[in-house]
Amino acid sequence: MAGLSPTSQLPMKEVLGRLIRASQWAHRNQQILGKVTTSAPITSPAAPRLTRADGSPLRVLVVDDENSLTDLLSMALRYEGWEVKAAPDGQTALTLAREFKPDAIVLDVMLPDIDGLQVLGRLRTGGDDTPILFLTAKDAVEDRVTGLTAGGDDYVTKPFSLEEVVARLRGLIRRSAAMVSEGGDSRITVGDLVLDEESYEVSRAGREIELTATEFELLRFLMRNPRRVLSKAQILDRVWSYDFGGKSSVVEIYISYLRKKIDAGEEPMIHTVRGVGYVIKPVS
């Protein structure tokens, strides 16, 4: 959009209105996105602008076969100062993921060739741990659970607001190693387990442990509350910022992932308290 620089402070309604007026798909977009209620820019003047460690703009790949929707999302993300590329199908998304090397991916579940879950599976099989935000149909609970348990990091449901997408992406990127660290005392230690919030490195007894962004956030929440039993509801609220309407099995799955990485060949540190939740504590 002409005249929309990343640092402009136009009200979000005006920014969205300009793009909608320029699109022949305006009515359809409004149905997809729902009502955008904010009268302020997506990022307030006080919100820190996120960049890569070298100071270059963050990169986001948007994958959806609705051109009008990808235009709106791309506009909103560029408004944040981020570099954006769009893919209309799964195969193009896989190619761009290799070439563009995004810091986060917005991925629709329903695509014309291979679906979003297959895209996710191929990325993870290839060793790509880029944080992924799924777009799902309203109330498609099974899609959300399947996507997250397959290695996705978060989701938003249609209709949604642009502000929600931006906020969730900022949260995912903060949990990844791509962004500039804010400094301070960055190490959390529980027994021989050490988590560094700046470098996003985890080790136990000197053994380095590789975690996905969501696994890292879950472990950080546990380690910030050593010897305290955390319920599934608390974990869902803190790590995923929502509940699953009873689908708390995703917590069990991610706890299982952590145990395989943290407790492998060692005395267990992550414990289940039946009927209550989970706790991490040093080996006695």
What confidence tens digit (pLDDT) does each residue in 167-190 have?
Answer: 888 877 776 654 443 444 578 899
pLDDT of residue 2: 35
Give residue 89's Cα distance to chain centre.
Answer: 20
Question: What six digits make up the tokens of 108?
Answer: 């629709």
Q: How confident is the model at residue 222 (pLDDT cuts 50, 70, 90)?
A: very high
pLDDT of residue 193: 93
DSSP characters over 207-271: EEE---HHHHHHHHHHHTSTT--B-HHHHIIIIISS--SS-THHHHHHHHHHHHHHSTTS---EE
pLDDT at 52 over 50: yes
What residue ranges do the domains of the chain occupy?
Answer: 59-178, 187-280
Instruction: Report d(CA 212, CA 128) in Å as an integer.
Output: 10
pTM of this structure: 0.56
CATH topology of domain 59-178: Rossmann fold (3.40.50)
pLDDT of residue 17: 54
pLDDT of residue 150: 62
> Cβ-count burial of 9 within 10 angstroms (0-12 exposed, 13-18 middle, 19+ buried)?
exposed
Instruction: Report d(CA 224, CA 65) in Å as an integer.
Output: 41
Check for a shared fold between 59-178 and 187-280.
no
pLDDT of residue 16: 54
Domain at 187-280: CATH code:
1.10.10.10
Residues 169/77, Cβ–Cβ less than 8 Å: yes
> What b-and-e string marks burial along 101-117, b requiring 16 or more CB atoms within 10 Å of the CB?
ebbbbbbbbebeeebbb
Per DSSP, helices labelled H in 49-115 are 67-79, 90-100
Q: Which residue has the higher pLDDT, 100 or 167?
A: 100
pLDDT digits (tens, 9 = 90+) for 244-270: 444 568 889 899 999 999 998 889 999
Q: What is the mean pLDDT of residues 37-41?
A: 38
Question: What six digits make up the tokens of 22?
Answer: 């320029």
Q: What is the mean pLDDT of residues 55-66?
A: 91
